[in-house]
Amino acid sequence: MLTPEDDAYWREYHVTPRYLAGSLGVDEDPSLRPFVNLNWSHHQVDDDLGKTVFVSPDGRLRIGFFGDDYILWNVAAYEDPFGPRRWAATFNQNTPPEIVAAFTTALAHDYEEGNDHFLARPAVRWDEQTQPLTEAGWARDPSAKTGTVEIIAPDKLAGIFLDIRCQDPEDEQCLLWSGPPGWGTRAEATFTTHTPAHLIAATAAAMADPAPLVRYERSIPQELRDLVQLTPVEPPPPPKPTPLDVRRTAVSLAVERAFRSSPTDPRAVAALARTTLPSPTRSAGSPAPQASPPGAHLSPTRPGPRR
């Protein structure tokens, strides 16, 4: 069993597909960053559990993050801050926060534009919400019940369900899901009937994005590890040598070649004495090798220089 003292405990991996990466193991949750960047007022409901509620300046948008519940994110929009809510969206604890961030980023952008686009009327055509998925190769399930639409990922591990019969504003008309059924494995995002189609489409596009997400292996539920591809995050490559480094290396090699070809040449001996050649086998902290005196490289069967 891995412990925090093990190097493998902190090893990071690229996780594919991203919709199975889960919500744990993210050092910096990006889902609420758009509202932090906008400097919206927020209230800490419970410091120990991380419960936070962000409210737009006019009170028409409210975003709640609840650290101990099944529904981690709860978003609600209002035409009038004192009236009934226009629409609501929720994301559960298994939803990758990077996917939630696609929704919240689009929402914050709408609000900043100042044109009430976040209160846009529902789409007339359901494919406005699912287009990013079909463009990514997800296919419609022909066995879906009449009045419903379901688009499924090629691996059958994610999909979107639409009940186009819903009319009540409080009905959860749209469900984005991923992972096998179960409290610790199924990610779910729900949207009520009047949720603008472009916000759902932004969330769907983030799910279909082929780019992997980075996670610690230990943060991925055991039930999902056989369903994802884990690729170790490689350390950054060493820095490229500067032009000065290249020149120094070339000079050192030239001096070494000159000494080998004519070890008795005073100029080669002097140049070698002025040049420190790096030793690839010398470990850190060990003393640098001493320069050999002239003639030390001579063959024992060959007479030395005549004095």
In the chain, where the domains are located: 9-232, 243-274
pLDDT tens for residues 213-270? Answer: 999 888 888 899 999 999 999 866 677 788 887 777 877 777 677 667 766 666 666 6
- What DSSP character marks residue 10? G
Q: Are 166 and 175 in contact (CB under 8 A)?
A: no
Which regions in the chain score pLDDT beneath 50? 277, 279-286, 288-289, 291-307
Burial class (CB in 10 A: 0-12, 13-18, 19+), 121: exposed
* Distance, CA of 179 to CA of 186 (rounded, Å): 5
pTM: predicted TM-score of the whole model, two decimal places: 0.74
- Which residue(s) pair with 162 in the sheet? 149, 174
Predicted local confidence at residue 49, as pLDDT: 67
